[in-house]
A = this chain, B = another copy of it.
């Protein structure tokens, strides 16, 4: 997998909000194609801020971010990168689900048949076909999340960023999402407080606290380390406590 150039490379990144200094402090990180990187850490650790910087929505205070070898220019649009926001309400801004999914491909300037095809494909992946004509605000929480994901996938990004994808999902939808993510081929960054979910989906975990990367290793190594987890206000997930009876195949 490491044969090609990195998808994302971050060097010496620091960031301050006007009224809050050094939310991120000297971050270094390289993500390779096909990796599924989980990002964990307490509320206010800086996860969302980090994602906004990667997308060029916020401007770095110092340091550099490169996507697919090219430096990120704030305010510029990067069709290779898709982001699913923490709150799907922020992301579903069109009056119908179908319009929302078509929004991105249309902005790419694709011809109408190609837009159609993309929408159909994204619907098929997320299982949203029947809900296409619904207004997004009539959907349940789980369906909204799936619609937001469909909207991002329709742009065929090579890197997808998910910010807390399981919050407000019931267990049925959560399982569907796990299933779908494990089958996907894009590179992913996933921030979540749901550690069991990270454990099931990711092949690498980064622990952030107070704007610093505290650990970066295989999920079982980071999250199985009870001392490390507790030092950063987290807990070892239940499934990493040794069990008498196996319960995942």
Contact = CB atoms under 8 A, between A and B. Distances in A.
Interface of A: 42-44, 140-142, 164, 167-173, 175, 193, 195-196, 233-239, 241-245, 247
B168 A235 contact: no
Contacts of A170: 42-43, 193, 233
A219 B234 CA distance: 25
A239 B242 contact: no
Copies in the complex: 2
B196 A171 contact: no
B171 A233 contact: yes
Contacts of A173: 43
B241 A245 contact: yes
A164 B164 CA distance: 16
B235 A238 contact: no
A contacts with B: majority SS: loop
Closest 4 CB pairs of A and B: A238-B238, A43-B170, A172-B233, A242-B244
A168 B167 contact: yes
Contact of A245 (B42, B141, B167, B242): B242
A75 to B, nearest CB: 26
23 contacts: A42-B170, A42-B172, A43-B140, A43-B141, A43-B142, A43-B170, A43-B172, A43-B173, A44-B140, A164-B168, A167-B167, A167-B168, A169-B193, A170-B233, A171-B193, A172-B233, A237-B238, A238-B239, A238-B247, A241-B247, A242-B243, A242-B244, A242-B245
Contacts of A247: 236, 238, 241
A235 B170 CA distance: 10
Nearest to A19: B138
Contact of A42 (B171, B196, B242): B171
A228 to B, nearest CB: 14
A233 B169 CA distance: 12
A119 to B, nearest CB: 24
Contacts of A141: 43
Nearest to A239: B238
A193 B241 CA distance: 22
A238 B238 CA distance: 6
